[in-house]
Structure 1
Amino acid sequence: MKSASGDASRFPVFYTVIGGITASVGLELFLHPHDMIAGGVTGISRLVSLYTQEHFGLLLFVLNLPLMLLYSLSTHKPMLLRALPGLFAFSGSAIILSPFPAVSGHPVVCALGGGICIGLGAGLAARHGGLLDSLGLNESDDGRPSALFLTQRKIPLIQIVMLCNGLLLMTAGFVLGWEPALYSALSCLAAYETTRLMFTGLTRMVCVISNNQQTVEDALYRRLRIQRMSVGSPVQNLNEIKKDLVDEKTEKTIVYHVHLLDLQRFKAIIQMTDPQAEMYTLKKE
C-alpha cells in the first residue's frame, strides 16, 4: 500500500496549481481593488489591462508565455511544460476572482496580505518546478538563467528584475498615483520576503543512515534538487552532528538541510529509494 506522502511527492503539478490560485487571490482580493500592482510581468499586465480594457488574466497568460518559452530554450530544459499548469491556474483564477470585492478596506492590510499571498503562491510553485511570473520575485534552480550577457558583460538576473520592478513602480506612480504606488512597493517587499522565507527560512537538518548513499543522493538531487551538507558548514560541523550517532554508523551518515515544505517528500523519497534507511531530524543551532 502506498503512503499518502509518497503519492503527493509524485504530483508536483498539484502544488504549482495551488500556488497559482493563491497568488491570484492576493492580486484580485487584495491588490487590484485598491489600484495596487505586483512586480514583474504581472504588474505590466495590470497596467496594460487598464488601458486596453482587455482582461488582466488573459494578458497575464499572453505576456508570460513568450518569455517562458525563451527561458526554456535558453536553459535547454522543459521548463515551459512544468510552468504551464501553474500559469493556467494563475490567469484562470484571476478571471474568476476579478468580480469579487476587496477583503479589507485598509490599503496597508491589503498591501501586506496581497504580498504574502503572492509570495506564498510563487514560492510554492517554484519549489515544485513551476514559475508563475517570468520576471517574478521567486528564484528557482530550473526556472530561469541566473544571469544574462548584455554588451559582453554578465549581469545577474536578480539585478535586472529589481531594475524592471523599480521602473514599473515609477510608471505606476504616474499612472495610478503615488500613494497606490507606495503601497504596491510595500506589497512587492512582502512578496519577496515571503518567497525568500519559503526557500531559506524554514529548514531542518536531517541525518540519513543508509548503505546506499550514492543512490540516495542521486534520488534526492533529481527529485528535490538538494545536496548533502559538506564538512565545515557554517551551521554546524558534520563531526559534531555525528558525534551522538552510533560509531559504526557514522560513515554511512548523510546530512541534509531540508525545508519544512519538503520534509514529507524527502522522507517518502528515502523510503522508496532505501526502505532500510534510518532518519534523524536535528534542530538547527
Structure 2
Amino acid sequence: MRRLVKPASGDASRFPVFYTVIGGITASVGLELFLHPHDMIAGGVTGISRLMSLYTQEHFGLLLFVLNLPLMLLYSLSTHKPMLLRALPGLFAFSGSAIILSPFPAVSGHPVVCALGGGICIGLGAVLAARHGGLLDSLGLNESDDGRPSTLLLTHRKIPLIQIVMLCNGLLLITAGFVLGWEPALYSALSCLAAYETTRLMFTGLTRMVCVVSKKQQTIEDAIYRRLRIHSTPVVDSAQIEGKIKSESEDKKEQMVIVYSVHLLDLQRFKAVIQMADPQAEIMYMKRWKA
C-alpha cells in the first residue's frame, strides 16, 4: 500500500462545472467532426434531434437543447433533486459547441474510423459530465444516482429505464435506416456500441481499492455517500490488517479502517471529501488496479 498525498485546498475537483463543460465539448466533437459528416447519428435525444434537424432545417444544436430541456426538468421534479441546474452548463456547452463545429469537415473520410472515434468521444463526454453531476442526453447511455431515475412507472408496472433506452435507440436506428440509408444506420449502430462500451469501461473498469484510517468512521461514510454515492465495504479494525498498514503509534489501534472501491475519475474528489470530513484521517491505496 502507498499513502496518498492529502489534497490541497484549491483542488480542481471542487469545480465540477468545468468537467461538465469539457464533457459537453468532447461529445459535440464526436458528433460534428466524426458522425454527422457521414450521415451517422447517435442514440437518445441527440439522435432524434439530428433526424428532426434534417427535415425542419432547424439547427441541430438548437433542437438538442430544446428537446433535452423538458425531459431534464421532468427528471429533476421526479427525483426531487436540483439536477437541472447542474446539467445546464454541460448541455449549453454540448449544444453551443455543436453549432460552432458544424461547418468543419470530418476528421477522416473512412466511416468505420469516424463511427468508432465519434462513439468514443461521445462516451468520454457523457462520463465526464455524469461523474460531476451533469447530464448531456436525457436518454443517454449512462445511469447516475443523481440523474435519471432507474425505473419508470408505466401501466402500474415499473420498467427498468435501461430497457426503455435500448428500445428507443433500436427504433431510432431503424428510422435512420429508412431516412438516411441502411449503411449509415449500421455505422451509427457501431458508434452507439462504441459509446456504450466506453461509458461502461469508464464507469466500472478503472477503480482502486482505497483504505481510510480514521476515528470518525460514521462521519466519513456519510460524507462519502452524500457527495459521491459510494458505499464502503464492511469495516474492519486496524489491528486485523497490521501486516498491510503500519501504525506509527499505539493510538492507531483505536482507529477504524474503511475500505472503498474508488473510480479513477473520482479519486481527487474522494480525497477532498475525506480531508473535509476528517483532516486527521490517513488515506492509503493498493497498487493493483481493479479491471
Partner of 2:178: 174
Kindly state the Cα deviation for residue 249 of structure 1 after the two structures are TM-superposed.
Answer: 3.7
CA offsets, 1:55-108, max 9 Å, x none?
Answer: 000000000001111111111111111111100000000000000000000000
Q: Structure 2: which 5+ residue stretches go unaligned? A: 1-5
CA distance in 2, matches of 1:27, 1:114: 6
Distance in 1 between residues matched to 2:131 and 2:104, nearest whole Å: 29
Distance in 2, matches of 1:239 and 1:40, equals 51
Residue in structure 2 matched with residue 120 of structure 1 by the alignment? 124
Q: Alignment partner of 1:36: what SS?
A: coil
Give the 3 Å change call, closer, same or farther, for CA 267–34 of structure 1 in structure 2: same
Query: For the structure 1 residues 147 and 276, does the alpha-carbon distance in structure 2 shift closer, same or farther, using more than 3 Å as the test?
Result: same
Of 26, 40, 49, 1:45 maps to 49
The farther-off stretch of 6-15 and 258-267 is 6-15
Contact kept? 1:6, 1:268, Cα under 8 Å:
no
Shift in alpha-carbon separation, 1:102–1:223, aligned structure 2, 3 A: same
Which structure exhibits the higher relative contact order, with contacts defined as CA atoms closer than 8 Å and separated by 6 or more residues?
Answer: 2
Q: 1:109: which partner in 2?
A: 113
TM-score normalized with structure 1 length: 0.92
Letter of the structure 2 residue corresponding to residue 280 of structure 1: M
Residue 77 (structure 1) aligned with residue 81 (structure 2): yes
Picking from 88, 91, 96, the partner of 1:92 is 96
- Residue 20 of structure 1 corresponds to 24
Kept after mapping to 1: 8 A contact 2:43/2:140: yes
Take 2:10 and 2:255, find their aligned partners in 1: how far apart are those partners?
28
State, as a whole percentage, how many aligned pairs show the same letter: 85
Query: 1:213: Cα distance to partner?
Result: 1.3
- Find out whether 1:68 has 2:72 as its counterpart: yes
**CA displacement 1:95-143 (0-9 Å, x = unmatched):** 0000000000000000000000000000110011100000011111110
One of 123, 126, 133 as aligned partner of 1:129: 133
Amino acid at match of 2:49: S
Does 1:245 pair with 2:249?
no
| Cross-structure match for 1:57 | 61
CA distance in 1, matches of 2:117, 2:25: 15
What residue number does 1:235 align with?
none
Shift, 1:158, TM fit = 0.2
Query: In structure 1, the residue corresponding to 2:226 is in which secondary structure?
Result: helix
Asked if structure 2 preserves the Cα contact closer than 8 Å seen for 1:79 and 1:130, the reply is yes
SS at match of 1:22: helix
Query: SS of the counterpart of 2:11?
Result: helix
- Relative distance call for 1:213 and 1:109 in structure 2 (3 A) is same
Q: 2:239 touches 2:253 (CA, 8 Å); kept in 1? A: no
Runs of 4+ in structure 1 deviating by more than 6 angstroms, as ranges, are: 238-242
- Residue 269 (structure 1) aligned to one of 270, 273, 276: 273
CA distance in 1, matches of 2:78, 2:274: 33
Say if 1:266 and 1:242 are closer, same or farther in 2 by CA, change over 3 A.
farther
2:164 corresponding residue in structure 1? 160
Aligned to 2:3: none
Tell me the SS of whatever aligns to 1:206. strand
Deviates more, 1:140-149 or 1:109-118: 140-149
Query: How many Å separate the matches in 1 of 2:36 and 2:231?
Result: 40
What's the secondary structure of 2:158's corresponding residue? strand
Give, as a single letter, the amino acid of the residue that structure 2 aligns with 1:48: M
CA distance in 1, matches of 2:105, 2:155: 47
User: Is 1:215 aligned with 2:228?
Assistant: no
* Alignment-mate amino acid for residue 69 of structure 1: L
CA distance in 1, matches of 2:166, 2:241: 39
Distance in 2 of aligned mates of 1:184 and 1:41 = 14
Comparing 239-248 and 64-73, the one that deviates more? 239-248
The separation in 2 between residues aligned to 1:269 and 1:107, in whole angstroms, is 44
Does structure 2 conserve the Cα–Cα contact (< 8 Å) formed by 1:40 and 1:135? Answer: yes
Structure 1 residue ranges without an equivalent (≥5): 233-237
* SS of match in other structure, 1:50: helix
Q: Which moved further from structure 2: 182-191 or 238-247?
A: 238-247
CA drift of 1:5 comes to 7.0
Paired residues of 2:42 and 2:191 also in contact (CA < 8 A): yes
Asked if 1 retains the 8 angstrom alpha-carbon contact of 2:7 and 2:268, the reply is no
> In 2 relative to 1, CA 182–133 (structure 1 residues): closer, same or farther, beyond 3 Å?
same
